[in-house]
């Protein structure tokens, strides 16, 4: 990780060190970030709300102390930031300003970080390409004809392009790990309950978790240490003490056992399969024992995920009706017409599809057949993962079945888009932590990720394994060619 050069291309750890020492002035730093975003954002559309004045004010208001002193952070636009826009990339929230900061934002500010701007996403975090945004798609910095992944595509692109060192996203079925893999950065989805969801606009509450993008495991560890922990405003947060994630990075992973699951990579195309096998060789060279684990119900994950996620979304999105939340349709109408018109005008097609599918899965007569069975299968997947972790420390899988696909390629075929989450959804169903680390470049020069999954609260071990993998890869930072 370079210690000089454009601020956004430096690590959060080195920026905060220099700010604390007084060798990097907040003013210079703010100016550098603003210049970098203004230069690249028209082309990338990583940020959907970036205001140089707001960024400058946020930077000036940050303090030169704390674990993230002076560190600029890009924030997915479904995480509330007080006073500035929080739109979820939806027409229905296009002018919404939150009265509060999300808990994660308060904690970042208390550690000295500042919000550089809000990043693009698939509307309400529903998608795998950031093409379902009311503000237009984000481009992958490695190849602008391709998607950055989704739904946190703007955050992944902002970090990959070196506009900021770290970013926040949300991961309901893979929305941090999949874009991290497509953009060649590290993406961590913590254990469900490890990080407060207060101020995260809910998509599927039993699956949603705020996650972190960075260009190293160390920066992920630094940010996690700041945002993790119990929050009285989110009763689902754990009271488990927050360990020192950074000191857990040391020590290597010799002696660790990593499980691989038959049927998860053998059928991939040659390049993805070879890359996964090479990643296993790197792990073995680090002293890891690789063994097989059985997860017979894993193949149900996508079906289960899309029933449960959509069912929960149909309930969570009921509040956007033009009265409680959301832009109200203009003109005279009855209460009922007002709901219908506000939602018809405010939501995009993918969101409507999810609400209809979710409502159907919960409707009387179908509830047991869909929602009930999905819950049952979810419990099976969770139990199988728990049993697997009785025999191995971590599980390795590809993060994605393909490299970043071309814009437009999957838009007409929702099912093929949904299949992008085949390797990432299981961790959300089980509530366990998982990380995607850059593992290789394809023959076309596109990033490929390796995913590691751990048991509940195994973030220290996941981060240590990610750090070891990263350092033995010989390509610690993968900043895209310009």
The token pair that represents 434 in the structure block:
């998982």
The least distance separating ligand GLN from the CB of residue 425, rounded to whole angstroms, comes to 7
55/201 with CB nearer ligand GLN: 201
Residue with Cβ nearer ligand GLN (236 or 281): 236
Task: Please give the span between the terminal C-alpha atoms of the chain, in angstroms, as a whole number.
Answer: 18
Quote the least distance from Cβ 186 to ligand GLN, whole Å.
Answer: 17
On whether the CB atoms of residues 131 and 137 are closer than 8 A, the answer is yes
Give the footprint of ligand GLN on this chain (CB under 6 A): 125-128, 151, 170-175, 203, 309, 421
Q: Using an 8 Å Cβ cutoff, are 220 and 194 in contact?
A: no
Place of tokens 């309950």: 193
* DSSP code per residue over 47-66: EEE--HHHHHHHHHHS-S-S
Q: Does residue 139 have an active-site annotation?
A: no
Q: In this complex, which beta carbon is closest to ligand GLN, that of residue 40 or of residue 76?
A: 76
| Shortest Cβ 310–ligand GLN spacing (Å) | 8
Closest CA to 32 of 16, 56, 13: 56
Residue with the shortest CB distance to ligand GLN: 175
SS3 28: helix
- State the catalytic residue, choosing from 76, 118, 189, 407: 76
Helix (H) and strand (E) counts for the chain? 15, 11
Rounded Cα distance, 437 and 170, in Å: 17
Q: Within its chain, how far is the Cα of 82 from the centroid? A: 21
Nearer to ligand GLN, 14 or 130 (CB): 130
198 is catalytic: no
CA-nearest of 283, 216, 208 to 252 is: 283
The residue from 175, 196, 198, 216 that is catalytic is 175
Catalytic residue, chosen from 14, 98, 151, 342, is 151
Q: Which is nearer to ligand GLN, 131 or 393 (CB)?
A: 131
In the complex, least distance from residue 158 CB atom to ligand GLN, rounded to whole angstroms: 17
Alpha-helix residue ranges (DSSP H) falling in 153-251: 153-160, 177-183, 217-227
Asked if 152 is an active-site residue, the reply is no
**Minimum CB–partner distance for residue 468 and ligand GLN (Å):** 27
Residues forming the active site: 76, 151, 175
């Amino acid at each position: 990780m370079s210690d000089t050069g454009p601020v956004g291309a430096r690590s959060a750890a080195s920026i905060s060190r220099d700010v604390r020492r007084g060798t990097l002035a907040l003013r210079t730093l703010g100016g550098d970030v603003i210049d970098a975003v203004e230069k690249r954002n028209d082309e990338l559309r990583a940020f959907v709300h970036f205001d140089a004045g707001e960024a400058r004010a946020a930077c000036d208001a940050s303090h030169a102390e704390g674990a993230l002193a002076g560190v600029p952070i890009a924030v997915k636009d479904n995480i509330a930031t007080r006073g500035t826009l929080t739109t979820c990339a939806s027409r229905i929230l296009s002018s919404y300003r939150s009265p509060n900061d999300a808990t994660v934002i308060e904690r970042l500010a208390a550690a000295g970080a500042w919000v550089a701007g809000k990043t693009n996403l698939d509307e309400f975090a529903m998608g795998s390409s950031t093409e379902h945004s009311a503000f237009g798609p984000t481009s992958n910095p490695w190849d602008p004809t391709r998607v950055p992944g989704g739904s946190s595509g703007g955050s992944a692109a902002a970090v990959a392009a070196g506009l900021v060192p770290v970013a926040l996203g949300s991961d309901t079925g893979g929305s941090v790990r999949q874009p991290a893999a497509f953009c060649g950065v590290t993406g961590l989805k913590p254990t469900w309950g490890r990080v407060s969801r207060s101020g995260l606009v809910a998509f599927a509450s039993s699956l949603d978790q705020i996650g972190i993008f960075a260009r190293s495991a160390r920066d992920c560890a630094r940010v996690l240490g700041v945002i993790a922990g119990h929050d009285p405003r989110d009763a689902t947060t754990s009271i488990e003490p927050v360990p020192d994630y950074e000191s857990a990075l040391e020590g290597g992973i010799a002696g660790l056992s990593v499980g691989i699951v038959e049927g998860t990579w053998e059928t991939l195309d040659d390049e993805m399969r070879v890359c996964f096998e090479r990643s296993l060789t790197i792990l073995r060279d680090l002293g890891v024992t690789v063994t097989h684990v059985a997860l017979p119900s894993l193949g149900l994950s996508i079906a289960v995920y899309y029933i449960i996620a959509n069912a929960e979304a149909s309930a969570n999105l009921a509040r956007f009706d033009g009265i409680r939340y959301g832009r109200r349709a203009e003109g005279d109408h009855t209460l009922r017409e007002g709901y219908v018109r506000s939602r018809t005008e405010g939501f995009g097609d993918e969101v409507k599809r999810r609400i209809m599918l979710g409502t159907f899965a919960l409707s009387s007569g179908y509830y047991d057949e869909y929602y009930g069975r999905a819950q049952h299968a979810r419990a099976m997947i969770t139990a199988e993962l728990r049993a697997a972790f009785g025999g191995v420390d971590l599980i390795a899988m590809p993060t994605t079945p393909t490299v970043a696909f071309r814009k437009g390629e999957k838009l007409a075929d929702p099912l093929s888009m949904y299949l992008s989450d085949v390797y990432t959804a299981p961790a959300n169903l089980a509530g366990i932590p998982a990380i995607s680390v850059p593992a290789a470049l394809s023959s076309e020069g596109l990033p490929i990720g390796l995913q590691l999954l751990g048991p509940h609260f195994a973030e220290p071990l996941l981060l240590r394994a990610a750090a070891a993998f990263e350092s033995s890869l010989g390509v610690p930072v993968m900043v895209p060619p310009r």
